[in-house]
Structure 1
Amino acid sequence: MTTKNEQDVDPYAAAEALRAALAEVGITLPSLRVDMASPALGLIELGSVRADVAVRLTEALRLGGHQ
């Protein structure tokens, strides 16, 4: 897997890519967004999720996104 230097990654594109990948496995993080408080760091806020969503996210990660 190719990794990018943190300065080379557009946080908006990364957030949208993550949103799309999660949607492919039926997961929505309603609070997913770029952290505007620290733009130089390029942080993405994932927000809070219900416990059942956390379990589904865990399962998707363990399966490598293949369900």
Structure 2
Amino acid sequence: MQQHLKEVDALTTELREALARAGVVLPSLRPDPVSIAHRYMPPLVELGRCSMEVARQLTAALAEPARGERP
């Protein structure tokens, strides 16, 4: 369980940083405590709720061509 906690924490941090580079901040982004405490369920990352503005920013960031790709 400790390994899962470290892994989900690291992944959450990585996702938070990647989103920030795209100009998106999800205030509720965090490891899901229920799944971390569960014995058989894999740990989940909770994306949480966001405002409509953040949803627009996320949509725009996902619509942009991936780095290195031509439009």
TM-score, structure 1 length as denominator? 0.75
Q: Report the Cα distance in structure 2 between the residues aligned to 1:58 and 1:42, rounded to whole angstroms.
A: 25
Q: Report the Cα distance in structure 2 between the residues aligned to 1:27 and 1:51, rounded to whole angstroms.
A: 12
**Structure 2 runs not aligned, ≥5 long:** none
Structure 1 residue 26 and structure 2 residue 23: aligned? yes
**Structure 1 runs not aligned, ≥5 long:** 1-6
Q: Report the Cα distance in structure 2 between the residues aligned to 1:62 and 1:32, rounded to whole angstroms.
A: 21
- Pair member with larger Rg: 2
Alignment coverage as a number of residue pairs: 58
Q: Report the Cα distance in structure 2 between the residues aligned to 1:57 and 1:22, rounded to whole angstroms.
A: 8
One-letter amino acid matched to 2:19: L
After TM superposition, the runs of 4+ consecutive aligned structure 1 residues lying more than 2 A away are none
Question: 1:4 maps to what in 2?
Answer: none
**Partner secondary structure for residue 41 of structure 1:** coil
**Partner secondary structure for residue 34 of structure 2:** coil
TM-score, structure 2 length as denominator? 0.71
Higher helix share: 2
* Percent of residue pairs identical: 41
Q: Report the Cα distance in structure 2 between the residues aligned to 1:16 and 1:45, rounded to whole angstroms.
A: 12
